[in-house]
Amino acid sequence: METPCVKICTLDVKRRLCLGCGRTMDEIAAWAGMVPAERRRIMNELSERLAAFNASQKLAG
């Protein structure tokens, strides 16, 4: 099964986001039960999601 996991499981509890792969906690929990198309859709969003998170962290100082 394809996965974006990079084995850096650090969670931002406030945003419920893994800082390693960019998935939400809900997505991680549901991953194995998703159809491949849904996993691919999420994977296509992850780099943008992580970039937005990192930008918000820089603004927060």
Quote the distance between the C-alpha of residue 2 and its chain's center.
14
Q: What is the pLDDT of residue 3?
A: 94
* pLDDT by 10-residue block (mean), the chain, 61 residues: 92 93 97 97 96 86 65
Q: What angle do CA 15, 25, 36 make, to 5 degrees?
A: 130
Q: Report the domain count for the chain.
A: 1
User: Does some domain include residue 6?
Assistant: no
pLDDT score of 61: 65
The pLDDT score that the predictor gives to residue 39 is: 97
Structure tokens at 5: 């996991």
- Quote the DSSP letter at residue 24: B
Cβ-proximal residues to 15 (8 Å cutoff; 6+ apart), any chain: 53
Domain that holds residue 25: 11-60
Give the span between the Cα atoms of 22 and 34, in whole angstroms: 17
The answer to whether residue 21 sits within a structural domain is yes
1 falls within a domain: no
**Is the residue at 2 inside a domain?**
no
